[in-house]
């Protein structure tokens, strides 16, 4: 009697396990056949007229084609004309940091300017792949001002942050930049 119960339990268990495996196989097939990938290539059309920017060891992202990108060590200038020309305007200024970087090079973008003090976060919005858009308050010449930023963090201390220093970039463009961040490989 005991061996018949054991045999029945064995058959029920094997049937149940088989159904789980079959269900998993069916789910996997349906998911990879019909699911829309996280980074849909059709989203590429949203970036027509935008250039790729790559920050070694950190991230890649996109900005409008007409913007000039200059990287000097861990500082990235995104401007209207080359930074060696007079009176250039800063769309974004940023810094990056990564594992193994000298600690003295690991600075926030606002620290590139004299007499600027970080006050606090106003708002932020996180997107997939670690891109973020937000606004921070800074004390500049005894005035509290709000500056927009985009940032990226891979979660393993590799990060980049850009501030719209001259307030030339609208919120829609900043969000689009934040949405374009991807891990640098």
Most confident of 27-31, 143-147, 150-154: 143-147
Average pLDDT over every residue of 5-25: 72
Average pLDDT over every residue of 43-61: 81
- Burial environment of residue 88 by CB neighbours within 10 A (0 to 12, 13 to 18, 19 or more): middle
CATH architecture, range 41-183: 3-Layer(aba) Sandwich (3.40)
Q: Is the pLDDT score of 37 beyond 50?
A: no
Domain boundaries, the chain: 1-35, 41-183
Quick: pLDDT tens for 85-133. 999 999 998 887 755 555 545 566 766 677 888 889 899 998 877 788 9
pLDDT band at 38 (very low <50, low <70, confident <90, very high): very low
Residue 133 CB partners (closer than 8 Å, separation 6+): 124, 125, 127, 148, 149, 150, 171, 174, 175, 177, 178
Average pLDDT over every residue of 137-142: 89
pTM for the whole thing? 0.70
pLDDT band at 73 (very low <50, low <70, confident <90, very high): confident
Residue 160 and residue 164: Cα distance in Å, rounded?
14
Query: Which tokens in the block code for residue 45?
Result: 């059309």
Give the pLDDT score at 39. Answer: 44
């Amino acid at each position: 009697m005991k061996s018949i119960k054991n045999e029945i339990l064995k058959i029920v268990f094997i049937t149940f396990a088989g159904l789980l495996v079959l269900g998993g196989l069916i789910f996997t097939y349906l998911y990879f056949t019909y699911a829309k990938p996280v980074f849909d290539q059709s989203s590429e059309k949203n970036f027509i007229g935008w250039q790729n920017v790559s920050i070694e060891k950190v991230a890649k992202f996109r900005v409008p084609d007409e913007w000039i990108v200059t990287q000097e060590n861990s500082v990235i200038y995104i401007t209207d004309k080359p930074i060696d020309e007079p009176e250039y305007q800063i769309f974004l200024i940023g810094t990056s940091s990564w594992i193994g970087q000298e600690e003295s090079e690991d600075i926030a973008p606002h620290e590139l300017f004299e007499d600027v003090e970080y006050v606090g976060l106003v708002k932020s919005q996180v997107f997939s792949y670690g891109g973020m858009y937000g606004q921070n308050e800074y004390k500049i010449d005894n005035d509290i001002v709000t500056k927009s930023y985009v940032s990226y963090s891979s979660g393993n201390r590799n990060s980049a942050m850009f501030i719209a220093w001259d307030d030339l970039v609208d919120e829609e463009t900043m969000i689009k930049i934040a949405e374009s961040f991807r891990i640098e490989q």
